Amino acid sequence: MSLPAILAPSLLAGDHANLGASALVAANSGAPWLHIDIMDGHFVPNLTFGPEVPAALRRAGATQFFDTHLMVENPDAFIEPFAKAGANLLSVHIEPNYDHRRTLARIRELGCQCGIVLNPGTPAAAIESLLDCVDLVLVMTVQPGFGGQPFRRDMLPKLQQVDQWRRERGLKFRLEVDGGIDLASALECRSAGADTFVAGTSFFRAADKITFAKTIAQLP
């Protein structure tokens, strides 16, 4: 049985001059999660937010589930500051060289849920041994670094493989997609097993964000 669908609007596509207003727009749509992309300028060729951003959003009254995606070369240096800043879930990439299982365990020790992330060029097999210790698997459907890229349909078999392992092993982690997600690509990803949908450009440009959020939440 599939988990209920969840929309996580991406703050990266919001108004960087008024992130609090963008977070409020996301909350008012009915979306329960807010996706916060953290980029260090090394692992990906872009810089985004430090821990002060989620901390400031919390002080301003934001109550969403903060789905915090660490696109960083050294996640161990970032997990504690973001946990203290109000993250609910911290996702780290499989690609950098560090002790993945230990880092995931440390995230849990800090009181957050933990996730593991796959870039488009990384096979699903790279995370297979970690599926028993995560709350979420994020399959990137674009190369991370910048918003507004087109959805990569060739990632659908990877989603199907991770979902198959989840079903076979009776695991409960969420399966998230991020990159080029709109209502059409979300439906394709849902059919491939995804249940959590990061939407940035398509969400913030939608004329009716409440309908957008409801449509995602009602995906079969």
Active-site pick, 37, 40, 135, 163: 37
Active site residue 76: no
Report the greatest alpha carbon distance in the chain.
46
Burial degree of 200 (CB within 10 A; 0-12, 13-18, 19+): buried
Active-site pick, 67, 163, 178, 195: 178
Active site residue 99: no
CB-side neighbour CA atoms (13 Å) of 5: 25
> Shortest CA distance to 95 belongs to which of 130, 61, 121?
121
Burial degree of 52 (CB within 10 A; 0-12, 13-18, 19+): exposed
Helical H segments across the chain, by residue range: 19-28, 52-59, 79-84, 100-109, 156-169, 183-191, 201-204, 209-217
Q: List, by residue number, the catalytic residues.
A: 37, 178
